[in-house]
Homo-oligomer: A and B are copies of this chain.
Amino acid sequence: MYTLSEENYLKAIYRLSQDEGKITPTAIAESLGNNPASVVDMIRKLSEKQLIEYDKKKGVELTQQGQKDAVLIVRRHRLWEVFLLEKLGYHWDEIHDIAEELEHINNDTLADRLDKFLGFPEYDPHGDPIPKANGKMAKPYSVTLAAMKTGSTCRVAAVRDTSSAFLQYLLKLNIGIGTQIQLVEKITFDNSLVISINGKDHTTVSQKFGENILVE
């Protein structure tokens, strides 16, 4: 089907298409850690294959085919993450890099069998929705902890940042998907948040922290 690089580009472009604003070569380059010149080459290649369209005004956009294929890569990625966490006992800060490789293994029925084996999970270990075989998936969570009203209580639904630095920090704070968090106070000086984790003692976290936790 596609090369490793093509798939990684497709997925990167898909990820960027979730944010608002146009997708520039520079943005793709940054997200992959590549040089913009290399990105321009690949944009040409993927355009020829009709997976994307590039217009200086509109930036890069996935075609229907490109979108479909990208979503299937995301599906594989997230299913493998569930496998690594639930079946092999990895922690949520260790699974992304391995899934990054597993996602490229393609076989007619592999993803579907894995899906079935895992019990058709709806969300991956970071709270991201797992696309179904037909490409449909639940709407991603979007309300951040930072946006909650003081005094309100919520449940951690997903993390926006999936760097191991952040995930390990959460592990240390005993915060995971499903954790109850009460927003006790917002410090007006720097928007730091005083929170209570699972009804326990108060902890203070930064605004940046609060913006990377998605709640419901």
- Give the B-binding residues of A (Cβ under 8 A): 87-90, 97-98, 101-102, 105, 107, 110, 113-114, 117
Given that A88-B113, A114-B88, A117-B88 are contacting pairs, would A105 and B102 also be in contact in the complex, using a CB cutoff of 8 Å? yes
Cα A105 to Cα B87 in complex, Å, equals 17
Cα A107 to Cα B95 in complex, Å, equals 10
Residues of B within 8 A of A87 (CB): 117
Interchain Cβ contacts under 8 Å between A and B, 14 examples = A87-B117, A88-B110, A88-B113, A88-B114, A88-B117, A89-B113, A90-B113, A97-B107, A98-B105, A98-B107, A98-B110, A101-B105, A102-B102, A102-B105
**Number of identical monomers bound together in the oligomeric complex:** 2
- Closest chain B residue to A101 by CB distance? B105
Question: How close is A72's CB to chain B, nearest CB, in angstroms?
Answer: 16
Residues of B within 8 A of A113 (CB): 88-90
Cα A113 to Cα B102 in complex, Å, equals 15
Cα A105 to Cα B110 in complex, Å, equals 16
